[in-house]
Homo-oligomer: A and B are copies of this chain.
Amino acid sequence: MRHASGISESDLLARLARFQIETPSWGYADTGTRFGKFLQDAAATTVEEKLADAAEVHRHTGCCPSVAVHVLWDFPAPANEADVRRVARLAESVGLRIGSINPNVFQDACYKWGSLTNRDPVIRRRALEHVLDSIRVGQSVGSKCLSLWFADGTNYPGQGDIRQRKRWMSEGLAAVHGRLPADWTMLVEYKPFEPAFYHTDLADWGMAYVLAKDAGSRARVLVDTGHHLPGCNIEHIVAFLIDENMLGGFHFNDRKYADDDLTMGSIDPYQLFRIFHEIVSVEQDRGGVAAGAKADLPIAYMIDQSHNLKPKIEAMIQTVMTAQEMFTKALLVDREALRAAQSREDLVASENCLKDAFATDVRDLLREHRRAHHLPPDPLAAFRASGYAARAAAERGPRKTAAASSYA
């Protein structure tokens, strides 16, 4: 069977089978807003629980074999070799592997004025050491990817010397890159604001690009879909970075106002589709599905959202299903017709190539894909039927202390 788009169903299913997306360990834990956290009985607290939950997501969706970890939250400190390896074995024991390594240089009180951009060389050094430690942790657990986000910035005009901070950030990133194993990628994330509210040292993709370029050849830009100013054309940035060979990965989530960290595609699914469309377009140029995995762009697809109110595992499964749906729709764009319409400046027809693919209901196709891979056709329903959440709540809930956090 061939779809209107010209892609054969078997090609489509083959590409879909290679689509994987990484879930974050912290996505299974309780999170909240500055006004407080509403704790969930079933949410994970320990790394064992987080990995068990991530395994549930993978068990039901089949496309989330790796888990991103936060060094501070998922490993004992200081992390000794044995403890670290234990986490890797834990992951393996539930059918997972450790994916990207995320240092944490924003939570400790010493980072109040910044980490790599802190005026105090002792703190800069401490931040750097933590990042280098994180690389070591990653090596012990078989990771190949260092994912860097910095909360560094200032809250008021005059607070910091913006250029000096830029240079410290540049030095820090270069120092990290200097110690990056040869087969690793280093991802540099940007964010316009929050928790800093006047300026952030890596405010946009341009700054991340320039400093990543300066840092070294294995540094790439990480696009968090929630880290843009209103109206920003994210797919344009994605296409631009791919063309510069500088797109390293995504932190997926959705937003309506600020960095709302809602579940992926929950607010603007068409934008998500367009992002995938730009990616698939390049893969098409590289030989397409026919070329097999070697045409796939080496992009780390990762989820990073803060589903404060939704049950964690359900939210994650819903997210993964949405990601698959939008990726599949992007595969359905009739690229030949699109090129033809573009070539005659036929705006209505070229836009309709996208609209038609987006309008196509791919849920049956995804069910078929899942059956073929011995997965439940409706992962969410299957998970709900499994009773896992109730068991987790019963077991974990009593151990939780009442939410003590308060805004003021």
Q: Which of A29-37, A52-60, A174-182 interfaces with chain B?
A: A29-37
- Tell me, yes or no, whether A388 is within 8 Å of chain B by CB: no
In the bound complex, residues from chain B placing their C-beta under 8 Å from that of A38 are 109, 112
Contact indicator A266/B156 (Cβ below 8 Å): yes
Within the assembled complex, what's the spacing in Å between the Cα atoms of A260 and B153? 14
Within the assembled complex, what's the spacing in Å between the Cα atoms of A338 and B341? 40
Given A192-B231, A231-B230, are A159 and B350 neighbors across the interface (CB < 8 Å)?
yes
In the bound complex, residues from chain B placing their C-beta under 8 Å from that of A404 are 404
Contact indicator A194/B257 (Cβ below 8 Å): yes
Contact indicator A107/B361 (Cβ below 8 Å): no
In the bound complex, residues from chain B placing their C-beta under 8 Å from that of A269 are 270, 358
The quantity of this chain's copies bound in the complex is 4
Within the assembled complex, what's the spacing in Å between the Cα atoms of A322 and B358? 12
In the bound complex, residues from chain B placing their C-beta under 8 Å from that of A262 are 155-156, 197-198
Query: Which residue, of A255, A268, A339, A355, has the highest number of chain B Cβ atoms within 10 A?
Result: A355
Query: Which residue, of A119, A233, A242, A318, has the highest number of chain B Cβ atoms within 10 A?
Result: A233
Instruction: Render A165-207 as a binary contact track against B, CB cut-off 8 A, 1 for contact.
Output: 0110000000000000000000000001111011100011111
- Tell me, yes or no, whether A131 is within 8 Å of chain B by CB: no
In the bound complex, residues from chain B placing their C-beta under 8 Å from that of A270 are 157, 267-270
- Tell me, yes or no, whether A403 is within 8 Å of chain B by CB: yes
In the bound complex, residues from chain B placing their C-beta under 8 Å from that of A405 are 405
Query: Which residue, of A112, A158, A277, has the highest number of chain B Cβ atoms within 10 A?
Result: A158
Contact indicator A407/B258 (Cβ below 8 Å): no
Contact indicator B192/A310 (Cβ below 8 Å): no
* Nearest opposing residue in chain B for A405, CB measure: B405
Contact indicator A408/B29 (Cβ below 8 Å): yes
Contact indicator B157/A266 (Cβ below 8 Å): yes
In the bound complex, residues from chain B placing their C-beta under 8 Å from that of A156 are 262-263, 266, 310, 347, 350-351
* Nearest opposing residue in chain B for A214, CB measure: B244
In the bound complex, residues from chain B placing their C-beta under 8 Å from that of A34 are 31-34, 195, 306
- Tell me, yes or no, whether A368 is within 8 Å of chain B by CB: no
A393: shortest Cβ distance to chain B, in Å?
14
Q: List 21 A-B contacts (CB under 8 A).
A: A33-B194, A73-B406, A109-B402, A113-B345, A156-B347, A156-B350, A157-B277, A162-B236, A163-B239, A192-B233, A193-B231, A193-B260, A198-B267, A199-B233, A203-B233, A229-B229, A229-B232, A267-B270, A309-B347, A310-B348, A318-B352
